[in-house]
Amino acid sequence: MENMDLTGIPEEAARIVTPAAEYLARRIGRRIESFNVIGSCLTGDFVPGSSDVNTAIVVNAIDPGILDELATMGGSITSRRLPPPVLLTRDYIARSVDSFPVEFLDMALFHKVILGDDVLEEIRIERPPLRLQCERDLKAKLVNLARGYIVSRGDAKLVWDLLMQALPGYFPLLRAVLFLVTGEPRPPAHKDDVLTRVEDALRVSMSGLRDALKLKSGQGRPNRDRARLMSIFHSVYRTTHELSETMDTLCLD
């Protein structure tokens, strides 16, 4: 395959992904249609030394040979911060974009092709299934937050874990909500900008999610500030409830 294009990718992320991409180009290059970096590497939220480097690979077919090559990549060319790729085919995308429109919207918006063709740019999202998934996922978050909080029995560490596990999934959802509500073809990339834009567009407070991001970045310790942590949790829960109601009642033209 052609040389890799790593422009626009953080230096550390490029160092992590390059050995794996070179290995796969040598071993299955003819079968790779598109090798993409996705996620925080492209939204301005990448944290050196901490953030994962996520990838999506489109191949001509998924079979045991492809899976074996991915499974047997040696530790010397992989990193614990390089999770297994999202493995796709053009046919799978065409047949699944209505089932997972939130995830495919985020991939279409934020990807960088480092090998092959820009297959993800071809994705087109229909609004009705996107609205349905937003409503479903927000309501599922409500159920999971409530169950997790009850199980925690007020333990600050467990509530912290619950928030940190839930937090990343909010941002593809919020971008999808903006896509639906504002009609903007390209919602903001950076998480802080996403929260500000949602507040402006929906008049729903994002203070809990904003404070949860600060906690994640190290601005607070759950074991030493239990009252603040519980306040953040309840704020996130209220926000999730309001957003789910917005999606439940949203009328599409």
With a cut of 60, say whether residue 4 has pLDDT above it: yes
Q: What is the pLDDT of residue 217?
A: 75
d(CA 143, CA 146): 5
Burial class from Cβ neighbours inside 10 Å (0-12, 13-18, 19+) for residue 180 reads: buried
With a cut of 80, say whether residue 85 has pLDDT above it: yes
Tell me the pLDDT tens digit for each residue of 100-130: 999 999 999 999 999 999 999 999 999 999 9
Model pTM? 0.91
Burial class from Cβ neighbours inside 10 Å (0-12, 13-18, 19+) for residue 181 reads: middle
What one-letter code names the amino acid at 82?
L
Structure-token match 């950076």, residue found: 190
With a cut of 90, say whether residue 90 has pLDDT above it: yes
| Of residues 2 and 47, more confidently modeled | 47
With a cut of 80, say whether residue 62 has pLDDT above it: yes
